[in-house]
């Protein structure tokens, strides 16, 4: 809770007339993806499709099957679905044990619970042993309005420092559907952020031949004035902002980086080195320890020094509320992304 929010806590309550109230839910990931088609539970369906071909795949969750779309897997394959209860440390330990027995476990929970509550178990039982446990976590970054207890704003920073761990931050349903088989094929541990429920299909609208490739960045939109290097839902925001800025004659290129670790620095450096463009990173994560710092460090180490800015969440515990309001407040909405880029030109 910030000082400003603490002060508001004790202000007299203002009652909004019923006619002016807008129904919303803090838990629903209201990404305001207007104009995009959606896919229902892409992770759950992709995992079922993969499991039909591979009997070593199992699913485990910590009382959050419905809220990580793993319940779809459970309905189709109940004998390979394990409900561990509200015990995230047990969840990760059990997944490690199954991996040692030759299975490919997919363990799901909320990102805050994996990153904060179960970190030591992930580090010691999974990462140190380099086991093929796939950790898939909902509510990444600012995709819930439930406040600091549920907002995983620092999960990528936490797991970036963990040896052997691959990190994925998908943009949309296309990324999620594509990442599941590649996670299975990868022999070590993977941490993936998850968008659940009705997930927009973004990337193929802008690049019809787009296919997720583990460890690879891909140019989704070309532009000569600004290069936005983005990940997760911020690629969607960057693409929408690019269309707005195009009306003002500003050309914005968008380079999508769904894999945070290993980061595709070869592609990033090649694009950033072209010169003449403002380079902006955009992420649904704190500016501490995420994509922005990784890109800045990588470019500096290679002797590439473009004009550089970062769009991301502040180094603070965020407030609770409706997501559209919070995205405006913290600079993640299309309008705010557009404003920030315009102000830097």
Asked if residue 61 lies in contact with residue 83, where contact means CB atoms within 8 angstroms, the answer is yes
Active-site residue 88, yes or no?
yes
What residue spans of the chain are helical by DSSP H? 3-9, 42-53, 71-76, 88-100, 111-112, 119-121, 155-160, 173-185, 203-206, 233-246, 265-272, 291-301, 323-329, 334-344
pTM for the complete prediction? 0.92
Catalytic residue among 37, 76, 88, 283: 88
Residues 6+ away with beta carbon under 8 Å from 85: 62, 63
The full set of domains in the chain, from first to last, is 38-200 (3.40.50.970), 203-344 (3.40.50.920)
- Which candidate, 226, 234, 280, 233, places its Cα nearest to that of 251? 226
Q: Give the pLDDT confidence score for residue 33 in this predicted structure.
A: 72
Asked if residue 175 lies in contact with residue 169, where contact means CB atoms within 8 angstroms, the answer is no
Q: Give the pLDDT confidence score for residue 79 in this predicted structure.
A: 97
Low-confidence ranges of the chain (pLDDT < 50): 1, 9-10, 13, 15-16, 18-30
Residues 6+ away with beta carbon under 8 Å from 334: 32, 237, 240, 241, 244
Task: For the sheet with 104-110, list strands across it.
Answer: 81-83, 57-61, 104-110, 134-138, 190-194, 166-168, 259-261
Q: Give the pLDDT confidence score for residue 2 in this predicted structure.
A: 55
Instruction: Count CB atoms within 10 A of the CB of residue 293.
Output: 18
Between the two ends of the chain, the Cα-to-Cα distance in Å is 33
Q: Give the pLDDT confidence score for residue 3 in this predicted structure.
A: 60
What is the distance between the alpha carbons of residues 258 and 271, in angstroms, rounded to a whole number?
A: 16
């Amino acid at each position: 809770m910030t000082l400003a929010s603490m002060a508001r806590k004790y202000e007299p309550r203002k009652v909004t007339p019923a006619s002016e109230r807008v129904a919303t839910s803090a838990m629903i990931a209201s990404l305001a993806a207007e104009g995009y088609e959606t896919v229902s539970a892409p992770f759950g369906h992709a995992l079922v499709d993969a499991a039909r071909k591979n009997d070593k795949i199992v699913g485990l969750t910590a009382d959050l099957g419905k809220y990580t779309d793993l319940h779809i897997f459970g309905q189709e394959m109940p004998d390979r679905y394990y409900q561990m209860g509200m015990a995230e440390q047990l969840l990760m330990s059990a997944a490690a044990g199954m991996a040692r027995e030759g299975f490919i476990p997919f363990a799901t929970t909320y990102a805050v619970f994996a990153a904060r509550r179960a970190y030591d178990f992930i580090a010691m039982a999974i990462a140190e042993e380099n086991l093929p446990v796939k950790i898939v976590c909902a509510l990444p970054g600012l995709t819930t309005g439930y406040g600091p207890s549920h907002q995983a704003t620092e999960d990528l920073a936490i797991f970036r420092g963990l040896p052997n761990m691959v990190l994925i931050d998908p943009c949309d349903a296309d990324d999620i559907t594509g990442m599941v088989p590649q996670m299975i094929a990868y022999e070590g541990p993977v941490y993936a952020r998850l968008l659940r429920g009705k997930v927009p299909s973004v990337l193929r609208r802008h690049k019809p031949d787009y296919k997720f490739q583990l460890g690879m960045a891909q140019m989704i939109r070309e532009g000569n004035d600004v290069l936005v290097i983005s990940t997760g839902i911020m690629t969607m925001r960057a693409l929408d902002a690019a269309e707005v800025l195009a009306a003002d004659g500003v050309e914005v290129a968008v380079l999508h980086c769904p894999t945070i670790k290993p980061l595709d620095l070869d592609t990033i450096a090649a694009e950033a080195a072209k010169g003449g463009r403002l380079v902006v990173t955009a992420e649904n994560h704190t500016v501490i320890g995420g994509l922005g710092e990784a890109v800045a460090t990588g470019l500096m180490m290679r002797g590439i020094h473009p004009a550089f800015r970062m769009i991301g969440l502040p180094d603070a515990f965020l407030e609770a509320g409706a997501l559209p309001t919070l995205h405006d407040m913290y600079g993640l909405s299309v309008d705010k992304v557009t404003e920030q880029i315009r102000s830097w030109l």
